[in-house]
Structure 1
Amino acid sequence: MNAGCLYYVMGPSGVGKDSVLAWVREHGVPHGVLCAHRYITRPAHAGGENHVALSEAEFHSREQRGLFALTWAAHGLHYGIGNEVAHWLVRGADVLVNGSRTAFALACERFPDVRPVLITASAQTIANRLAIRGRESEAEIAARIARLNAYPMPHDSIVIHNDGCLAEAGSSLLQAIRPGYH
Structure 2
Amino acid sequence: MSRIGPGPLVAVVGGSGAGKDTLLAGARDALGEEMVLVRRTITRPRGPGEDHDPVSEEEFRHLAAAGAFCTHWSAHGLLYGLPISLEEEARADRTVVVNASRSAVPDLVARSERPWVIRVSVSPEVRAARLRERGREDEADIAARLARADPAPAVRADLEIVNDRSIDAGVSALVAGIRAARVRPARIRSAPQRLGSGARR
**Aligned ranges 1:28-177 → 2 under 5 Å:** 28-29=30-31, 31-44=33-46, 46-147=47-148, 151-152=152-153, 154-177=155-178
State the distance in 2 between where 1:148 and 1:162 align: 20
Matched positions, count: 179
Tell me: CA distance 1:40–1:156, structure 2 relative to 1, closer, same or farther (3 Å). closer
| Cα displacement string for residues 86-123 of structure 1 (whole angstroms, at most 9, x for unaligned residues) | 11111111101111001111112332321011011011
CA RMSD after TM alignment: 1.9
Letter in 1 for 2:92: R
| Cα displacement string for residues 4-30 of structure 1 (whole angstroms, at most 9, x for unaligned residues) | 00000111101011111111122x215
State the distance in 2 between where 1:115 and 1:31 align: 18
- Structure 1 residue 142: deviation in Å? 2.2
State the distance in 1 between where 2:158 and 2:17 align: 19
1:4 paired to 2:7? yes
Tell me: CA distance 1:75–1:147, structure 2 relative to 1, closer, same or farther (3 Å). closer
> Aligned residues: percent identity?
36
State the distance in 2 between where 1:70 and 1:129 align: 28
Higher relative contact order (CA 8 A, sep 6+): 1
Structure 1 unaligned spans of 5+ = none
TM-score by length of 1: 0.89
Tell me: CA distance 1:154–1:74, structure 2 relative to 1, closer, same or farther (3 Å). closer
**Aligned ranges 1:20-35 → 2 under 5 Å:** 20-26=23-29, 28-29=30-31, 31-35=33-37
State the distance in 1 between where 2:52 and 2:32 align: 21
